[in-house]
A = this chain, B = another copy of it.
Amino acid sequence: MSVRRIGIAVKPKKTEVEPILRELIGWLREQGREVLLDPEAAAACPGCGPSLTRAEVVAGADLVVVLGGDGTILSIARLMGAREVPILGVNLGSLGFLTEVTLPELFPALESVLKDDFAVSRRLTLAARVRRGEEPVGAYVALNDVVISKTGPSRIVELETFVNGEYVTTYRADGLIVATPTGSTAYCLSAGGPILYPTLPALVVIPICPHTLTNRPLVLPEGARIEVVQRSAGEGVHLTVDGQVDVGLHQRDTVTVARSPHSITLVKSPKLNYFEVLRTKLRWGER
């Protein structure tokens, strides 16, 4: 029984999940499984079990079921570290890129997982490090993207960029996105980026509204080490991780982004392939 302890994480403020949550927890216990609830799950289902931190849920579970949207998956993913246990993403409404399974498909999907008969999609993640002078000042993991951008009346930021030690260019732009294939359908897409097949061993670097009109998205091998030196004076330059974590950057701070040694394992929908998700989300086939 390889999947013995099932973590459950719920999107904040989704109290309407109580019935399904109650049914899910009961069913899992009937199957002889242990259940670990994150604070949102515990709050949405009073009396169902103790509340653990999300970090505890991730640390103890053999599988994490996420009821919510892509954002909840992203926050769970950042806690995974070296664990790489599978995540089963269930959307509570509209299809997500990371939450392919619908509520009616939840139990059949779980049965397959408990029987160890399921397919997964392994997604690479990014490790970002910030250095101030010689001093490391922060380290972050992203499943979607790492964004450096500027706020305030003049949005232009100057970002001197290197790949594997070779100078690429100094972007003058609203910002710069480094994204995984998973992240290519998130913020990147709005910035004009291409769609990377989710298991492609690659990263993508995209300036946001670049001053130089010939700057284009750059797709690099997964082994690329991207180094960005923040050259702008003044306040207001930020590093944002998966759109959820925000860190201020000083002038001359260096951000290094490379593939992290650890991946995220997503349980695949037995019903949908990647292109079906893409067609539905992007409304292809219709103008």
Copies per assembly = 4
A200 touching B221 in the complex, CB below 8 Å, given contacts A152-B151, A273-B166, A285-B169: yes
Q: B284 to A245, Cβ gap below 8 A?
A: no
Give the contact stretch, choosing among A43-51, A59-67, A208-216. Answer: A208-216
Give the contact stretch, choosing among A11-19, A117-125, A188-196. Answer: A188-196
Residues of B within 8 A of A132 (CB): none
Q: Give the most central of A152, A190, A217, A236: most B CB within 10 Å.
A: A190
| Residue in B closest to A149 when the chains form the complex, CB atoms | B155
Q: A200 to B202, Cβ gap below 8 A?
A: yes
A285 touches which one: B153, B170, B218, B286 (CB < 8 A)? B170
Q: B287 to A167, Cβ gap below 8 A?
A: no
What is the minimal beta-carbon distance from A27 to any residue of chain B, in angstroms?
Answer: 32
Q: B214 to A283, Cβ gap below 8 A?
A: yes
What is the minimal beta-carbon distance from A130 to any residue of chain B, in angstroms?
Answer: 15
A220 touches which one: B163, B187, B197, B215 (CB < 8 A)? B197
With an 8 A cutoff between CB atoms, is A199 at the interface? yes
How long is the Cα–Cα vector from A238 to B151 in the complex, in angstroms? 9
Q: B282 to A214, Cβ gap below 8 A?
A: yes
A216 touches which one: B163, B170, B189, B200 (CB < 8 A)? B189
Instruction: Pick 21 A–B contacts, CB within 8 A, sort by A.
Output: A149-B155, A153-B238, A166-B274, A168-B278, A169-B284, A170-B285, A174-B190, A189-B213, A189-B216, A194-B217, A194-B219, A195-B216, A195-B219, A197-B221, A200-B202, A200-B221, A212-B283, A213-B287, A214-B282, A283-B286, A283-B287
